[in-house]
Amino acid sequence: MKTLKICNISKSYRGVPALCNLELTLSGGRVHALMGENGAGKSTLIKLLAGVIPADSIKLLKDGEPVSLTSAQDAHAAGFRFIHQELNIVPQISVAENILLGRRYPCWFGPAINWRSLERKAQEALAFLGADHIPVKKIAGSLPSGDRMLVKIAAAFVADKEEATADLFVFDEPTAALSSDESRKLFKVIERLKNRGAAILYVSHRLDEVLSICDDITVLRDGHLVSTGTVRQTSRNALIHAMTGRDVKDAYPPRTSPIGVAPVVTAKNVSNEHLHGLDFTLHKGEVLGVVGLAGSGQGELLRLLLGDGKPKSGTLAFQMSPAPGSPNNAWRKGIAYIPRERRGEALMLSLSIRSNIVLPHLARFGWLANKHAETRIAEDLCEKVRLKYDSIEQTTSQLSGGNQQKVIFARALFGNPSLLLLDEPTRGVDIGAKFDIYQLVRAQSAKGCAVVLASSDLSEILGMCDRILVLQNGRQTALLSRDNMTSADLLQYFYTQEAA
């Protein structure tokens, strides 16, 4: 495919326009970034291209030929492939089966599956992507998330051998769940797809990523096209301006108050089944970054501090007394936690904003539910986190990702915690909301709240943290001071042991 012209595409929900008369041209062999804040219309565009929602008006020209798009089957036949951030592989079956899922399995005779041929096909698809380190017989659920993403891509790719060629790959926030190392592998794969002549539409919130791997950039705001052009013609600041409509001079608010002296968390040689040799002291108002390759134990470290699991050896103290033994105990002592998976671990999507905010703090209202007091406090907190909402009683499923994250922040800020545990707090959050979140963290730290921030976004770590703890396979390998470090410097520590 040489070009895919998307003309005159519009969609509105109940009279509210989500996309207005958008025009976009994608070219084979080029990576086209699609950017914009949450609610700008990116997801709507993807859903229209996938044929899963009907457009109000749509016109597609593939190399000048019109393409009709009324169902997901049409999209597939047109050669469009979609890779979403949710890694929706089937965890119980093998990698090979995942790759050929939905295709006709190769058979011996009748219904008997020819497993060897099936595995060979899967192997070929992976090899093409340069991902032949993934064993095809392995059960897919046991793969790390980066490899799962590659399996998904292989699955999108394998189809074209028998059916329509895939000429458009749409990546929707593919790196949201990946470590930087895994992301690099993914970028290599995207490079290969591009060299093969496929067009790639790449949706991401991560500016650095977009600037380094994309050729063209289109920015949407409120359903309208704001700017489009090549990457070379644009800059970081211009992009932020285009997306938010305002200038963001400094994404990370600077520290304005000194770090305290009183220790909040003291870990002395702490180990459990996932973590080894944790040794650090976290002071009042200090922000500690936790980094490492994906799955190195960042999440486990936060959970340990939350009391979900106990240290097997060593001593772990919170404010000079033994660390809490359960999440219940931790919240009561003023430890607040923001989990990594917003939907899976933090929110009750079917419950109201109010219920979600007050949930860990219900005991403070007594055994009788006090809706008035809850509403008052929840509304105060919503204002503090600058949540955009209609009613405190609306369910959190109706909020955008960034606003959902703010609800979780409001929950954490209830009653001014003395320790804030953040696991990827800005993942999948748009630039504007990110900035709000950084300011909230700074404000808490200024009040003396200690913060532990686990993140795979190294610029965020460098921008926010005072000290940085590096984990390798659950072992603490370095405790660094932030001064004058760059991402490249920091990245070195991820691999030191392998190098040595």
Partner 1 sequence: MIEKLRHSGTLLGFAAIIIFFALRLPDTFLTARNLINISQQLSMLTVVAATMTIVMVMNDFDLSVGSMASLAGIVAAVLFSMGYPVWVGILAALAVGLLGGFFNGFLVSVVGILPFVATLGTLTIFSGMAFLASGGKTIYGRDIPAGFSGFARAGIPLDSIGFSGLKLPYLSITAICVVALVWFVLEHTTFGRRLYAIGGNMEAAHLAGIRVKKLRLLAFGLTGIGAAAAGLMYASRVASANPTQGSGLMLDAIAAVFLGMTMSQQGEPRVLFTLIGVLMLGVLDNGLTQIKVDSYVREILVGVIVILAVAIATISKRKS
User: Which residue in 92, 230, 315, 326 binds partner 1 (CB under 8 A)?
Assistant: 326
- H-type helices in 254-358, by residue range? 298-305, 327-332, 353-358
Q: Does 47 bind partner 1 (CB under 8 A)?
A: no
- Phi/psi-derived region of residue 387, left when phi > 0, alpha when psi is between -120 and 50, beta in every other case: beta
Q: Which of residues 351 and 478 has its CB atom nearest to partner 1 in the complex? A: 351
Nearest to 83 by CA among 25, 138, 145, 8: 145
Nearest to 459 by CA among 432, 430, 474, 438: 438
Q: Which of residues 216 and 300 has its CB atom nearest to partner 1 in the complex? A: 300
Question: What is the distance between the alpha carbons of residues 447 and 454, in angstroms, rounded to a whole number?
Answer: 21
Q: Does 16 bind partner 1 (CB under 8 A)?
A: no
Q: Please give the DSSP secondary-structure letter assigned to residue 139.
A: B
User: Which residue in 82, 337, 409, 435 binds partner 1 (CB under 8 A)?
Assistant: 337
Output the smallest distance, CB 213 to partner 1, in A.
34
- Asked whether 474 and 274 are in contact (CB, 8 A), the reply is yes
Q: Which of residues 394 and 497 has its CB atom nearest to partner 1 in the complex? A: 394
- Asked whether 141 and 91 are in contact (CB, 8 A), the reply is yes
Q: Does 64 bind partner 1 (CB under 8 A)?
A: no
Output the smallest distance, CB 197 to partner 1, in A.
39
- Options 149-157, 313-321, 341-349, 383-391: segment touching partner 1 (CB under 8 A): 341-349
- Options 4-12, 335-343, 384-392, 485-493: segment touching partner 1 (CB under 8 A): 335-343
Output the smallest distance, CB 51 to partner 1, in A.
17
Q: Does 77 bind partner 1 (CB under 8 A)?
A: no
Output the smallest distance, CB 348 to partner 1, in A.
3
Segment 363-422, which members bind partner 1 (CB under 8 A)?
363, 365-369, 395, 411
For strand 57-62 and strand 3-13, is the pairing parallel, antiparallel, or unpaired? antiparallel
Question: What is the distance between the alpha carbons of residues 55 and 77, in angstroms, rounded to a whole number?
Answer: 18
Question: What is the distance between the alpha carbons of residues 197 and 16, in angstroms, rounded to a whole number?
Answer: 37
Q: How many CB atoms lie within 10 A of CB 249?
A: 6
What is the chain's length?
500
- Options 152-160, 231-239, 353-361, 487-495: segment touching partner 1 (CB under 8 A): 353-361
Q: Which of residues 237 and 326 has its CB atom nearest to partner 1 in the complex? A: 326
Q: Does 332 bind partner 1 (CB under 8 A)?
A: yes
Alpha carbon separation from 26 to 23, 123, 197, 208, 217 (Å, rounded): 10, 30, 12, 21, 10
Element (H, E) at 227: strand 224-230
Q: Which of residues 329 and 473 has its CB atom nearest to partner 1 in the complex? A: 329
Buried b (16+ CB within 10 A) or exposed e, 387-424: bebeebeebbeebbbbbbbbbbbbbbbbeebbbbbbbb
Output the smallest distance, CB 189 to partner 1, in A.
32
- Options 33-41, 130-138, 346-354, 482-490: segment touching partner 1 (CB under 8 A): 346-354
Element (H, E) at 315: strand 313-318
Question: What is the distance between the alpha carbons of residues 368 and 238, in angstroms, rounded to a whole number?
Answer: 53
Q: Which of residues 152 and 411 has its CB atom nearest to partner 1 in the complex? A: 411
Q: Which of residues 180 and 396 has its CB atom nearest to partner 1 in the complex? A: 396
Output the smallest distance, CB 298 to partner 1, in A.
15
Q: Does 311 bind partner 1 (CB under 8 A)?
A: no
Q: Which of residues 240 and 399 has its CB atom nearest to partner 1 in the complex? A: 399
- Options 17-25, 264-272, 361-369, 383-391: segment touching partner 1 (CB under 8 A): 361-369
Question: What is the distance between the alpha carbons of residues 188 and 182, in angstroms, rounded to a whole number?
Answer: 10
Q: Which of residues 313 and 328 has its CB atom nearest to partner 1 in the complex? A: 328
Q: Does 113 bind partner 1 (CB under 8 A)?
A: no
- Options 117-125, 169-177, 268-276, 331-339: segment touching partner 1 (CB under 8 A): 331-339
User: Which residue in 359, 392, 446, 491 binds partner 1 (CB under 8 A)?
Assistant: 359
Q: Which of residues 182 and 300 has its CB atom nearest to partner 1 in the complex? A: 300
Output the smallest distance, CB 347 to partner 1, in A.
6
Size of site (CB under 8 A) for partner 1: 32
User: Which residue in 17, 263, 309, 327 binds partner 1 (CB under 8 A)?
Assistant: 327
Question: What is the distance between the alpha carbons of residues 371 and 287, in angstroms, rounded to a whole number?
Answer: 35
Q: Which of residues 89 and 346 has its CB atom nearest to partner 1 in the complex? A: 346
Alpha carbon separation from 478 to 286, 422, 424, 454, 500 (Å, rounded): 17, 20, 20, 15, 14
Alpha carbon separation from 76 to 7, 119, 403 (Å, rounded): 19, 23, 33
User: Which residue in 83, 87, 193, 330 binds partner 1 (CB under 8 A)?
Assistant: 330
Q: What is the DSSP string of 484-499?
A: T--HHHHHHHHHHHHH
Output the smallest distance, CB 109 to partner 1, in A.
39
Catalog residues that contact partner 1 under the rule CB under 8 A: 306, 308, 326-332, 337, 339, 343-351, 355, 359-360, 362-363, 365-369, 395, 411
